[in-house]
Amino acid sequence: MVKRMELRQDYCADKSMREKLYPLFENVFGITEDLLRKFHEQGFWDDTYCPYTYFDDGFAIANVSRFDLPLLIEGKPVSAAGIQSVMTHPDYRRQGLMKNLLEIMLQDIDLNTQVSLLFTEKPELYIPFGFRILPETCFITRYEHSGQCIEECFKKLSPFMLNNTELIHELFQIRIPQSEQFSPLRNTSSFFLNLYDLQVQERLYYAIDLRAILVFAVKADTLELYDLISPNELALSDLCARIPSSFSRIIVYFNPDRFTDFDWTPFAYPSVSHLMIRGQIDFPVHLKYPETAKF
């Protein structure tokens, strides 16, 4: 079996090779081949996505992938790589395939980037490779909003209607980062992948006059703001004035340093999935990786 095993990498431009990886996604994560084909056909695929894959007789059996993930940290650009699609077919586990692939890929990442990031529910798997957990923080403040709003300028977005898809692409190209403290600078593909979650779709709105996409929910007298995509520097009060629900406090799931008129209290973000980093970059003491940018 070992003699038939072949390592291939950075082959996604080849459609026939790329689609050989799809069955492994379905086998390990339950992501269907049909969904992955549509994701690529609709232009959501990240063109920097680079898989490292073992094939056995033409079948993908183990994989790790990287993609470009430039960050803004304390106002300075940082070169980074995201790591995802870590998966091994059940019949090939406990053979050291993931370890081999990660070692090869990390050597390549270290040549060109300052830091690498991943999300996992099993951080113990990645500590031996030099990764460490970076705790995430949410931010809360008091804000009284009666629910009176400018309704004619605010609408719900159906993300996979063509006009709305084009709008999301356009705003991502010209958006300003949510935060100067900490923000991913290139996460369109992850945003679209997260939109396949029906809960995220339900939270997607567009403030027409502000040219701003908001991802939010109002629960238990609290506005939970998950993402903001806009080319404009916007006041939090202007965003709230478009929301037709009352609330008395706001929780923001990204660093809120652009909203300078408020006192924000950080609190630990409860999650079973851990953000892990590898590299010597200093990160802010309190940070939140945006929910809709996760991968």
pLDDT, tens digit (0-9, with 9 covering 90-100), for 12-36: 999 999 999 999 999 999 999 999 9
49 Cβ neighbours under 8 A, 6+ residues apart: 12, 65, 66, 67, 189
pLDDT over 80 at 1, yes or no: no
pLDDT over 50 at 279, yes or no: yes
**How much is the mean pLDDT over the chain?**
95
End-to-end CA distance of the chain, in Å? 32
- DSSP for 125-180, please give it: GTGGGT-EE---EEEEEEEEE-S---GGGEEE--TTSHHHHHHHHHHHHHPPPS-S
Which segments of the chain belong to CATH 3.40.630.30? 2-113
pLDDT over 80 at 73, yes or no: yes
**Vertex 82: Cα angle to 80 and 85 (nearest 5):** 160
What type of residue sits at position 243? I
Torsion over CA: 197, 150, 240, 174 (sign): positive
- The pLDDT value given to residue 288: 98
List 6's β-bridge partners, or say none: 55
- Indicate the CATH number for domain 2-113: 3.40.630.30
CATH class of 137-269: alpha beta
159 Cβ neighbours under 8 A, 6+ residues apart: 165, 168, 192, 195, 201, 204
The model carries a pTM of: 0.92
How far apart, in whole angstroms, are the C-alpha atoms of residue 104 and residue 291? 29
Averaged pLDDT for residues 200-225: 96
pLDDT bin (cut points 50, 70, 90) of residue 266 is very high
- The pLDDT value given to residue 25: 98
